[in-house]
Structures are given as structure tokens and as C-alpha cells.
A and B are shown apart, each in its own frame.
Chain A
Amino acid sequence: MIQINDLHFAYPGQQPLFSGLSVHLEPGSITGLLGKNGAGKTSLLKLLTGLLHLQSGAISVLGHNPRKREVAMLNDVFMVPEEFYFPRISINSYIKAYAPFYPRFDRAMMDQILAEFELRSDSNLQKLSHGQKKKFLIAFALSTRCRLMVLDEPTNGLDIPSKSLFRKILAGSLEDNQLVIISTHQVKDVENLIDKIIILDNGKVIFRQTIAEISQKVCFVSGSSYDLEGAIYSEAVPGGFRLMMPNGHAETEVDFELLFNAITNGKKIG
């Protein structure tokens, strides 16, 4: 579904952001895109959706070159950006104005998700809070049933119940032919949602594995200073240490923050 080969990109007058980045993504997963500030997560999402143009290399999204912004690709790709704009119209009017452009738009699904997010369809979009606008846009994105959905910091601005609802709705709405890429710093908000992780650093993909693969290779435990010797990576926490150990026996839940810090500090997990 997504194939990136030897991508090179830099903003005018700035240092190269991507130098030979290559990655392949298949449908049927929710992929978390992680990286430090300035690593290029948002820029990569924009390159995938045709909002930015690469300098060299090749990107293929659903068999299309995103740079051409062909309609056949655009009506199968939806991006929920971190910052967005809505015209001064009601939710109903927005749906009437934009939904016809997406051939697979599901109005029943839209109404159902709006009800779960407690949004009224006669509400004026401009008068909603930032969190409510974000919920509406997520609902609209899911209802387009696009095969590729790109969410940039989707939980920013959502309250705690809404984050839980977002996870539940996203997990329950996806089909096998869909791919969702979530770029986020708030890994705890999506840790029960994503099934694959990509970590960007220094213009390249430095880590790409599924949660199942990670769980088989490493485990995440709490311990004391006596346990540090065998740990791949550790961090001090109140009461002791959080440790990433080679997985001997039982699988544990993936500690995304610990994993991210370990990988970006050069640790390998096999």
C-alpha cells in the first residue's frame, strides 16, 4: 500500500530532513509513527499525502505517486492534521459540502460516531471547542472509509473519556483493507491501539516492528538496581527502575516510552 524508496527531502535553506529513508507498509494495521521533535513525522505524513514534494527518491501510495495528487488517490486518502480550519457552517452543512467527494462515505457510520462523541449535527463548527472539532474531524475521517488514514497527533485536545472513546471507535471501525498511520508524542494514548511501530531519527527509519514481534523479543519489568546487569535499557523511576530485558519467558505489555527511549539511545532488540 505504501512504498517509500530512498527518500531525500529538505525544506528550502535547511538541513536535509530525510536522507535515504525507505519503508514499506501494508494495509490491515494501525501503525504508530514516533520520533523526537523535529524528526520529520508531520513532514513524512505530508509527503505521503502529496502536500509536500520530495527532492529525490520514490513514494507510492495505493499505487499512485502522491505528488500528482490524482483524484483516484485523493478520494482514498484522508489526513487529520494537528491544526485545521473549518468554515462557519453547521456539521450537517459540512457533511453535505464535503462528503460527496468521497465515494464510500457512510452517513450512517458518521451519525453513529457523532452520537458516541456527543456532537449534534446542527452545531456550528466554528463554535465548537478544539477538542470537539478534533472529534468531528476524526468521525468524518472514519466515515469516508478511505483505505489510508493519516492522523497527526489525534489525541491532542481530547479529554480523558474522549481518548478512550477514540481508541474504541478507531479499533472497531477499521477494515482489513485499511491502513491507519498515527503520528504522536502521546504514546500512552494509543498504546492499546497500534499494532506496529515506526521510529524516525536522523532522517531515517531506525526501528520498524510489530507489537507481537517486540513482545516476543523483549519484556518490560520494574526492578531494583540489582537487576540492571542483564537489562538492555533502564530508566530510574520513583521506587526503583523500569527495565527492558531480553524476553526469557512471559510476554509483557510493551512500554512504548521505554522502548522509544531505548531505540533512540542506540539500543538494539534483535
Chain B
Amino acid sequence: METNNSFSFQRLMLLGKQSLIINKKLIGISLAGFAGTLFMLLVFFQYKSHFSNWGNSGYMLIFTFLFFVLGMIYSSLSFPAFRSKEKSMTFLMLPASATEKFVFELLSRIVVFIFIMPVAFWVVANLEGALVHSFFPELINYKFSFGKAYSEITAQGVEGWLKFLFIQGILFVFIASFTGASHFSKSPLLKTMFTFSIIVAGYAFFSYLLFKGLNIRDYNAGKNIFFMDKDDSIVFGAIAITLINLSLLSISWFKLKEKEA
């Protein structure tokens, strides 16, 4: 029987099974650590807000912070085999195609996180809220709802291209860390953040030189960065970030394909 060298769901499942066997203890400890840390954080901030001033928005602030920070850190741990030569050799010699290895990393580091983290947050937040409410009845708004938070956001007019821009922006944070992990063997997150800081600073300085330095027009940072009005710049930004995300994913795929040990 001829082997499918490109992509096989069976081999993708084997990669998943392998990862679970190797990392099951780490996954358990990480989830427990996340739950414990989140519990203590929520209790702390509810205490600071004197319990009675706490509401859904408080939960959403903490969720948003943790979602981005933990997501960035988790994505930057992609391709763990690239951290050492010995691990790289084992990873590259594993009988799975580059596409399968890439898709598995993408699913396990970004997609799974995007789905699991909100679920875990919701469970811990509601458990914590119910427990604290039983000791401190003044904590009235202890139930957390993503639906309520989503309604509040859309009520502020976040829809259409702006919503798409937000989604692509969120994905950009994860994909940039993911690509950095494929490119840098040591300290990938720090090096990725440094690289993108240089790129953004360079672009801002370039547009500053263009308008202020060459005196083309009155310099207005918000307008001149994207060279157009607000609505057009939202569309431009959404398309640009989407293309950047796709480019970054391509870079990490080619990095995996050409990797040597």
C-alpha cells in the first residue's frame, strides 16, 4: 500500500496521542496551576473592589489580560523540539509529514488554547464566585457570562470590519509568537517581541520622517500611520493583518520544512 506522504488524519491523531502520553502530567499540573492562580487573582480583585462593586466587566478585564498574556506565552512554546539539537533530531526523524507536524503544532498551541482557555476560565470563575458569595454575601454579581460581555461589546458598535480587525489582531498575537518559536531556538518570546518592536518602531519613525521631516502634510499620528481616514484604515488594517498572519504562518511552515539538526 502506497504511503500518503502529504497529509494523513490518522498520523495527525497519532501525533495528538503521542503528545498526550508525553505531556499528560504537565497538562494536568498546568490546568491545576491555572485554576489555582485564577482563583486567587479573582478573590484578590473582588476583595479590592469591596465585593459589592464587582461585576461581569471585572471578570472580562482579568480574562482579557490572561487570554493575551498566557496565549502569547503558550504559543511561544511551540515547536518545543527546536530548543535542543537532540530533541530536533527525534522530531525531524518522526515518520510524519512536515504538514502534519505543522498542523498539529498550530492546533495544539493556538486553536486548542482559544477554545479551552475561555471554558476553563468560565468554570473556575463561576465556581470561585459561588464559593466567595457563600462567605461574603455582599458579592452579588458573582456569576460570569461571556454572552453578556459579548452583548456589551457589540452594543458599542463593534461589528463588520472592526470585528474582523479585532479577531485578526488577536490571532496576530498568537501567530507572531508561534512563528517566533519556529524561528528562534533560544528565548523565542523575548526575541519575537524585540523583532516586532523594531519593525513597528521603524514603521512609525518612517511615517514620521515622511510627513514631519519632509513636511508633506500636517503630521497626525493616528491618520498618517495608515495614510487614510478612520473607516478606510479599519478595512486596510483588517486586510493587512490578515495578510501578515498568513505570511507568518507560511514562514513558520517553511522553517519547519527546511529545519536541520
Contact = CB atoms under 8 A, between A and B. Distances in A.
Interface of A: 46, 49-53, 68-72, 74-75, 77-79, 81, 83-85, 87-89, 93, 96-98, 100-102
B86 A81 contact: yes
A97 B25 CA distance: 15
B91 to A, nearest CB: 10
Interface in B93-107: 93-98
Contact of B21 (A50, A68, A74, A96): A96
A53 B257 CA distance: 11
A71 B89 contact: no
Contact of B5 (A46, A70, A85, A96): A70
Contacts of B11: 71, 101
Contacts of B90: 84-85
Interface of B: 2-5, 8, 11, 14, 17-18, 21-22, 25, 84-87, 89-90, 92-98, 258, 260-261
Most central of B21, B25, B86 by chain A CB within 10 Å = B21
Contacts of B85: 83
Contacts of B22: 87, 89, 93, 97
A93 B21 contact: yes
Given A53-B258, A85-B84, A75 B3 contact: yes
Given A53-B260, A83-B86, 15 more contacts: A51-B89, A52-B261, A68-B5, A69-B98, A71-B4, A71-B96, A72-B2, A74-B93, A74-B95, A77-B93, A83-B85, A93-B21, A97-B17, A100-B17, A101-B96
A224 to B, nearest CB: 49
A51 B93 contact: yes
A93 B97 CA distance: 23
